[in-house]
Homo-oligomer: A and B are copies of this chain.
Amino acid sequence: MSLDPKVASRLKRTSDGLVPAVVQQYDTGEVLMLAWMDDEALHRTLTTGRATYWSRSRSSYWVKGDTSGHVQHVKSVALDCDGDTILLKVDQVGAACHTGDRTCFDADQLTVASLPS
């Protein structure tokens, strides 16, 4: 079993064979994290309903929450207009970030100089 060829044919991958996946909490709209999928990770995500990624640092598949318990139950999956980004809406159990923060974007806000103060 592998990814549906009709889906695979629409994917545009990086030179590493990966597609970035934006992960969003389905009800609050929070952007939780960004991870990477190859065809097999997307196939597993679509068929198991558990968010599954390719870890670039560990070079292995990674089912979110398998070690932390911070599971992502998949609610919907969409490709963008170019087929080069995936949007995953999930129900996140606990913290999405390995730091313990709810999202990976909570800690490092940059200053936008032109905003009215």
Total interface residues on A, CB under 8 Å, equals 46
Q: How many copies does the complex hold?
A: 2
Which residues of chain A (3-55) have a CB below 8 Å from chain B? 7, 10, 14, 20, 22, 24, 28-31, 33-34, 45-49
Contact check, B24 vs A110: say whether CB atoms are below 8 A apart: no
Bound Cα distance from A109 to B74, whole angstroms:
13
Interfacial residues of chain A within 41-92, with CB under 8 A of chain B in the complex: 45-49, 74-85, 87
By the criterion CB–CB under 8 Å, are B87 and A46 in contact? no
**Chain B residue at minimum C-beta to C-beta distance from A99:** B81
- Are A112 and B76 interface neighbours, CB within 8 A? yes
Given contacts A31-B24, A47-B114, A114-B49, contact A77 B107 (CB under 8 A): no
| Interfacial residues, chain A to chain B (CB-CB below 8 A) | 7, 10, 14, 20, 22, 24, 28-31, 33-34, 45-49, 74-85, 87, 97-99, 101, 104-115
